Structure 1
Amino acid sequence: MNPELVTLAQSASVTLVGLMATDAWERTRDGVVALWQRARPERADAVAAELDNTREDLAADAGVEGELAAEWQGRIRRLLIDRPQVAEELQRLLDELAPGATAPPATVSQHAAATGHSRVYQAGRDQHIVDR
């Protein structure tokens, strides 16, 4: 197997397991399942369940992180052997999930109309109103 693909599988597995206990988990999980959905759709549901099981195992015992990463390295390596064209997409996913990578900015749009003697209060965050 191509040494670059082995390195990619190792990096992906460590990143995957490392992000299981973070706020980025849902995005990570969705990205990995989507990757499998495109490459091996018949395995996507099983991979989703395996990800959930791995996260539960990690939550129960953080000491098994290395073992769990090794399991995922094998799964990812087999996927890359079977579908080498997935490597580029996997690398893009890792780049998106890398520490310091920013999520696309959220767009907030607020609209209001006041008539008569009514008032409109809008805020993008905390708002404290004191009427006297």
Structure 2
Amino acid sequence: MEAELAELARLAASTVVGAMATAGWESVRRATVELWRRAHPERADTVLAELGEARADVLDARRNGDERAEGELVGEWQGRLRRLLAAHPEMVPELRRLVDELLPMVEEEDPRSGGVRLTANASGRSRVTMAGRDITITKR
């Protein structure tokens, strides 16, 4: 469970930081602060201010092509989100929902994402083979 929380925190942090530089910034800010408002209402205003500072840093990093600075912000928010989930595991479904909502927006607006999204539905005796790049299939 610990590894699952850590991976969710990593994905959420990357998504939230990436979304800070998109047109959906306001909804990102609102949703992220709401997580803290439910878990630690006394920290919500501080998180709100820190999100604003982080957004300014992300925009500056992107303007200057500074991937290291953006990576550091992801690491910072990853730690915060991991601690939040460790203290409040009941928030896992809510954070997953947030990532599911924000990730398509981030991928669409960030030309660097270059992500590949594969979806398949199989039923009966069907077989699905998917790859994000090269694949070799040898039938026996």
**TM-score (norm. length: structure 2):** 0.68
1:47 lines up with 2:52 in the alignment: no
- Report how many residues are paired: 101
Q: State the alpha-carbon separation in 1 of the partners of residues 29 and 73 from structure 2.
A: 15
The alignment's C-alpha RMSD in Å is: 1.6
1:59 lines up with 2:64 in the alignment: no
The alpha carbon displacement at 1:24 in A equals: 1.1
* 3-state SS of 2:104 partner: coil
Mapping for residues 1-132 of structure 1, pairs under 5 Å:
2-62=2-62, 63=66, 64-99=69-104
Q: State the identity as a percent.
A: 53
Q: Any gaps of 5 or more consecutive residues in structure 1?
A: 101-132
Matching residue's letter, 2:87 = D
The alpha carbon displacement at 1:61 in A equals: 2.2
User: Which structure carries more helix by proportion?
Assistant: 2
* 3-state SS of 1:23 partner: coil
The 8 Å contact of residues 16 and 102 in structure 2, kept in 1 or not, is answered as no
Matching residue's letter, 1:3 = A
Q: State the alpha-carbon separation in 2 of the partners of residues 93 and 15 from structure 1.
A: 9
The 8 Å contact of residues 5 and 82 in structure 2, kept in 1 or not, is answered as yes
